């Protein structure tokens, strides 16, 4: 079994899983945590599945920032979480793990679920593989309850205009999306169902599981879906690898003086 360890980038910590038998293609999962700030570190279900598929996993700590492009002072007084991911996390992965998009898949739960969707919708060619578990799509519903969210937006309507559903582009989208939510998840099911409806009406392909019941909005549910989630990530990363153009090998020919006009 591989191991988890703590690493640092941009002055912030992250949990890193390194499988004992890593993929030869250096496939990596970037995991964004939920409002409770739990990562996959030492999670037996996900650790087992990541090891099975040879996937490295990086789980940065984002506090209760909602992973957007707004400065959250609880996270950082200057840098937004999205800029941190793009300007600190991705370069760190390239330098220390020799991996970069599109060999990096996105996975998130709850707050992190909507975070990975927004990141993928804004940069679908960089992040063509994304899985959102019980994504908190309609996070504007939490506005005004005293969370750091209140400092990110002027109003609930301004927050709604920054949700993943609004960011969908009908002609530019991640090729591999998997949306999952327990139908008993009273807080977030309606929002992800609405997102799926918009994807369908726009003709955007995606996969979903809105039928499985395994504990509502909880780690019981997230863990239950673990094997299916990690298998999807591994399979779709491989599909993306295979669709990339193969570098052509230059063809050199020997030129014989006097026969080919060579000198």
pLDDT digits (tens, 9 = 90+) for 45-73: 999 999 999 999 999 999 999 999 999 99
Per-residue confidence (pLDDT) for residue 245, from 0 to 100: 66
Q: State which residues form the domain around 156.
A: 3-243
Question: How far is Cα 209 from Cα 212, in angstroms, rounded to an integer?
Answer: 7
Residues 243-263: tens digit of each pLDDT? 876 543 333 333 334 433 333
Residue 254 falls inside a structural domain:
no
Element (DSSP H or E) covering residue 108: strand 104-109
Residue 259 falls inside a structural domain:
no
Residue 127 falls inside a structural domain:
yes
Residues 25-48: tens digit of each pLDDT? 999 999 999 999 999 999 999 999
Residue 262 falls inside a structural domain:
no
Residue 111 falls inside a structural domain:
yes
Q: Specify the number of domains making up the chain.
A: 1
Residue 248 falls inside a structural domain:
no
Residue 19 falls inside a structural domain:
yes
213: left (phi over 0), alpha (psi -120 to 50) or beta: beta
| CATH code of the domain in which 77 resides | 3.40.50.1820
| Whether the predicted pLDDT of 192 surpasses 50 | yes
What does pLDDT average to over the chain?
A: 93
66: left (phi over 0), alpha (psi -120 to 50) or beta: left
Is the pLDDT higher at 2 or at 244? 2
Entry pTM: 0.92
DSSP per-residue codes, 17-43: EE-SS--TT--EEEEE--TT---STT-
Residue 184 falls inside a structural domain:
yes
- Could you tell me which of 35, 199, 202, 112 has the C-alpha nearest to residue 210? 199
């Amino acid at each position: 079994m591989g191991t988890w360890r703590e690493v640092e980038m941009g002055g912030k910590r992250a949990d890193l899983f390194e499988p004992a038998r890593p993929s030869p293609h250096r496939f990596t999962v970037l995991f964004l945590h939920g409002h409770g700030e739990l990562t996959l570190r030492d999670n037996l279900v996900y650790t087992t599945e990541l090891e099975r598929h040879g996937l490295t996993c990086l789980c940065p700590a984002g506090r209760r920032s909602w992973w957007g492009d707004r400065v959250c002072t609880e996270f950082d007084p200057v840098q937004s979480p999205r800029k941190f991911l793009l300007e600190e996390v991705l370069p760190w992965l390239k330098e220390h793990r020799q991996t970069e998009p599109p060999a990096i898949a996105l996975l998130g739960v709850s707050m992190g679920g909507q975070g990975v969707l927004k990141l993928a919708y804004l940069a679908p060619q960089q992040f063509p593989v994304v899985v959102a578990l019980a994504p908190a799509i309609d996070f504007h519903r939490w506005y005004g309850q005293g969370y750091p969210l209140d400092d990110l937006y002027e109003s609930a309507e301004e927050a709604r205009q920054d949700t993943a559903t609004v960011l969908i582009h009908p002609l530019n989208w991640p090729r591999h999306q998997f949306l999952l939510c327990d139908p008993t998840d009273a807080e977030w099911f309606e929002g992800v169902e609405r997102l799926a409806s918009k994807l369908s009406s726009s003709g955007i392909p995606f996969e979903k599981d809105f039928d499985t019941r395994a504990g509502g909005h909880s780690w019981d549910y997230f863990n239950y879906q673990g094997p299916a989630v990690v298998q999807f990530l591994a399979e779709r990363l491989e599909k993306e690898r295979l669709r990339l153009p193969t570098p052509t090998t230059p063809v050199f020919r020997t030129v014989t003086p006097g026969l080919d006009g060579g000198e």
